């Protein structure tokens, strides 16, 4: 195989793992990332160093919101109708939006629009993009399904991801651009993000600092191991969505369309109580946590649980990694990367 693909956010957690899997599978990967300092840039650079050892990998330090630089990159790489795009670049995080809301507008709205416009001009064969389980917002019926209404976000991050889904539908309608949106559910694993719960908890435990548990620890998350994200992503690249011939405008079903447009949940389908998550982490680290029980934070939701029936039906997706396997794998990497073995 010598097929080429554009992956944005290639220095990020999911982007790094996807790029590495693509390169191992024989793809040529064009990637970009703005290497912002939302979390430690050195971690992003370390991921890129690994990817750069592959001759089929090319990297551009570009911000999606920089339209001129994006256009130059598309032209210099000659990206066109044979090259799928996976957009994983975004300003992430729920709480950070209260400190820096402009970064979400710039990256997740302006940047997303720029990329979609260039993808449409290039006649991209399939545009896949990261949405988020946070779009379910104020919904309380579990598990969350793509057929649910998601019109009540409770964070700016969630609102921008909902906007991405709407924008994608418009570009599918206007330009015939096949699009697939992926609602990720709490992804974790080696090379993960330092702003995510597992990383925060592991650092606090190793440093003997209190571990913050919001909603007084009464939280459940559909923790999804990174391999259970990358495996379906690899299948979806060549799985261009087909129009849903049964779609009915009198009773429109969210997540589907009469156009080549789909939205899927990708989750572990096994919600885990936060306290059990901590217990497994304590065992893997060999140290007890000091728990700091705090009230619910603005923008958070008490539980996530993915209905994955659509993805299972379309590509045979079944997550296989439990926290009892995934957390120790993260800990092995974490202790080695930060040289914490003593």
Which pair of structure tokens corresponds to residue 112? 């997303």
Question: How far apart are alpha carbons 25 and 18 in whole angstroms?
Answer: 11
Q: Are strands 272-273 and 220-221 parallel, antiparallel or unpaired?
A: antiparallel
What stretches of 191-255 adopt beta strand conformation (E)? Answer: 210-213, 220-221, 224-225
Question: How far apart are alpha carbons 47 and 226 in whole angstroms?
Answer: 15
Is-catalytic flag, 157? yes
Question: How far apart are alpha carbons 181 and 165 in whole angstroms?
Answer: 7
Question: How far apart are alpha carbons 214 and 295 in whole angstroms?
Answer: 5
Say which DSSP state 90 is in.
-
- The DSSP-derived string for 247-306 is --TTS--TT--SSSEEEEEE--S--EEHHHHHHHHHHHHTS--EEEE-PPPTT--SB--B
Say which DSSP state 202 is in.
H
Which of these is catalytic: 39, 157, 188, 261? Answer: 157
Beta bridge partners of 256: none
Catalytic residues: 157
């Amino acid at each position: 195989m010598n097929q080429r693909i554009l992956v944005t956010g290639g220095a990020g957690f999911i982007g790094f793992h996807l790029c590495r899997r693509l390169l191992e599978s024989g793809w040529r990967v064009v990637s970009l990332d703005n290497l912002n300092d939302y979390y430690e840039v050195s971690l992003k650079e370390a991921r890129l160093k690994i990817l750069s050892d592959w001759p089929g990998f090319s990297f551009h330090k570009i911000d999606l919101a920089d339209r001129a630089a994006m256009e130059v990159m598309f032209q210099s790489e000659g990206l066109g109708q044979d090259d799928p795009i996976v957009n994983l670049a975004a300003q992430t995080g729920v709480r950070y939006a209260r400190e820096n809301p402009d970064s979400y507008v710039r990256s997740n709205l302006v940047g997303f629009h720029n990329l979609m416009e260039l993808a449409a001009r290039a006649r991209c064969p399939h545009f896949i993009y990261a949405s988020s389980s946070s779009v379910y917002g104020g919904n309380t019926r579990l598990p969350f399904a793509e057929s649910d209404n998601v019109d009540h976000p409770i964070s700016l991050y969630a609102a921008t991801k909902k906007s991405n889904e709407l924008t994608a539908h418009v570009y599918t309608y206007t330009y015939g651009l096949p699009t697939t949106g992926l609602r990720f559910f709490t992804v974790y694993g080696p090379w993960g993000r330092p702003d995510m719960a597992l990383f925060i908890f592991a650092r606090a435990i190793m440093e003997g600092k209190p571990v913050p548990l919001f909603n007084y620890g009464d939280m459940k998350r559909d923790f999804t191991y990174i391999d259970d994200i990358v495996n379906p992503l690899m299948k979806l690249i060549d799985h261009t969505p087909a129009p849903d011939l049964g779609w009915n405008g009198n009773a429109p079903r969210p997540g589907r369309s009469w156009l080549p447009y789909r939205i899927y949940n990708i989750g572990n389908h096994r919600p885990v109580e936060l306290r059990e998550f901590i217990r497994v982490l304590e065992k893997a680290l060999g140290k007890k946590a000091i728990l700091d029980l705090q009230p619910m934070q603005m923008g958070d939701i008490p539980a996530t649980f993915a209905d994955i029936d659509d993805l299972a039906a379309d590509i045979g997706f079944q997550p296989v990694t439990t926290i009892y396997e995934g957390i120790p794998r993260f800990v092995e990497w974490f202790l080695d990367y930060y040289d914490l073995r003593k």
